Structure 1
């Protein structure tokens, strides 16, 4: 399996405590957060990673080089910010497989990636999203399902219970080419592509109960420092 990791953002909300390195390289018990994502990908049988990088990308390249413990590493370098959609589209040019996993470099979600891929292929889906059930939250929007088919994305607001987008996707390599979407060079995968093309895309979502953490804000970054190393005995 091939995976794209989006690791090119500025991470402005975390810069008050992590400013020497790009956000995905934020130290967790002395090791980069991105290393934990690679460990998870290795456990799930991913053999090739395309790292979509931009801000301070030299630090990422220096650490991972072109191979990490048997995983082939390729770099898709943004000279300017392309948004999540533009970054994915650029990174897809380095892939070969029909379906590709996409992950956010600032989020860890313990998902069975082989199972997610199987669900994607069984449904001949354009896009399949790993969802996380949460309680009493207002930081994330929610995803509404009908027999695992994604019907609607709701804006961020307080919810007692709901399924959120866990930041892990399986997408068709040709997802931006199969239909005419009139996309600009820079665009948001979530807002400008997925949500605006609900009626054109065949999308499914599946709920996973594994550990989830998004280090985008200092509070959750501190939580990751406590819990995440236990998953890998690091």
Structure 2
């Protein structure tokens, strides 16, 4: 099997409530950063990493995103999967997986950037025959994120809630995902959280793996990080 995953799902259906004060009328991923929508930066990163086919999971103000992608990335291979109602991260991924062309996909958020090596994460995912491989970012002195515990082989052995920590690995929102197994084991309909309702109950199954990399990470869904992105992306 090819160890490089070539297809990506970009989750871009969120309402962006935390970012309303800074960007009142746009989906989060369309918030301008360094002169262009943030999702454009995400797209360019994924293209650099060898992704060739894109599935955009959309909801709130989806037409704004569709017009931008058609105008700027119209020559690429992509489809839109539009939610009629919010389905949570798990439901959004489920609907996007239904139109996936490949057995393995990368999943990422349209409002976060984790510049890890997709080929390296892909290789770990395929080598372990994982259900999900989580991109993990080493962090120091933080309290905003929960942490992911892995064993020496990289197998995920636990998730811990947010609390002040001196160091730890956080879930950076970049995943390798086995499409067929996900569709077979996720709830077939309804709203659910990928992180809480799908990943956490499956730790004991031993098919979740972590890929740690100390790469650049930012989440523009929080106003202070949105401001930080303006400087860093210049």
Kept in 2, the 8 Å contact 1:111–1:208? The answer is yes
Residue 10 of structure 1 pairs with residue 15 of structure 2: yes
Kindly state the Cα deviation for residue 69 of structure 1 after the two structures are TM-superposed. 6.7
Measured in 2, the distance between the counterparts of 1:171 and 1:66 equals 29
Relative distance call for 1:178 and 1:77 in structure 2 (3 A) is closer
Kindly state the Cα deviation for residue 70 of structure 1 after the two structures are TM-superposed. 4.7
**1:130-179: CA deviation from partner (whole Å, max 9, x where unpaired):** 10010111110000010211000001111110000010000001133444
| Partner of residue 3, structure 2 | none
| Partner of residue 196, structure 1 | 201
Measured in 2, the distance between the counterparts of 1:14 and 1:31 equals 17
Kept in 1, the 8 Å contact 2:155–2:206? The answer is no
What TM-score, normalized to structure 2?
0.93
Alignment partner of 2:78 out of 54, 61, 73: 73
Name the count of aligned residue pairs: 228
What stretches of structure 1 move > 2 A for 4+ residues in a row?
A: 175-179, 181-184
**1:59-118: CA deviation from partner (whole Å, max 9, x where unpaired):** 100111187275312100011000000000000111111110000111001111011111
Kindly state the Cα deviation for residue 228 of structure 1 after the two structures are TM-superposed. 2.1
**1:38-64: CA deviation from partner (whole Å, max 9, x where unpaired):** 000110110111000100111100111
Measured in 2, the distance between the counterparts of 1:49 and 1:220 equals 26
| Partner of residue 159, structure 2 | 153
Relative distance call for 1:90 and 1:210 in structure 2 (3 A) is same
| Partner of residue 99, structure 2 | 94
Kindly state the Cα deviation for residue 29 of structure 1 after the two structures are TM-superposed. 1.6
Gaps of at least 5 residues in structure 2 are: 1-5
| Partner of residue 59, structure 1 | 64
Relative distance call for 1:49 and 1:66 in structure 2 (3 A) is farther
Counterpart secondary structure, 1:85:
helix
Measured in 1, the distance between the counterparts of 2:209 and 2:121 equals 10
Measured in 2, the distance between the counterparts of 1:155 and 1:224 equals 26
Alignment partner of 1:40 out of 38, 45, 50: 45
Residue 138 of structure 1 pairs with residue 143 of structure 2: yes
CA RMSD in angstroms, aligned pairs only: 1.5
Relative distance call for 1:57 and 1:177 in structure 2 (3 A) is closer
Relative distance call for 1:98 and 1:154 in structure 2 (3 A) is same
Kept in 2, the 8 Å contact 1:66–1:72? The answer is no
| Partner of residue 228, structure 1 | 233
Alignment partner of 2:173 out of 159, 167, 171: 167
Kindly state the Cα deviation for residue 197 of structure 1 after the two structures are TM-superposed. 2.2
Gaps of at least 5 residues in structure 1 are: 230-234
Kept in 2, the 8 Å contact 1:64–1:73? The answer is no
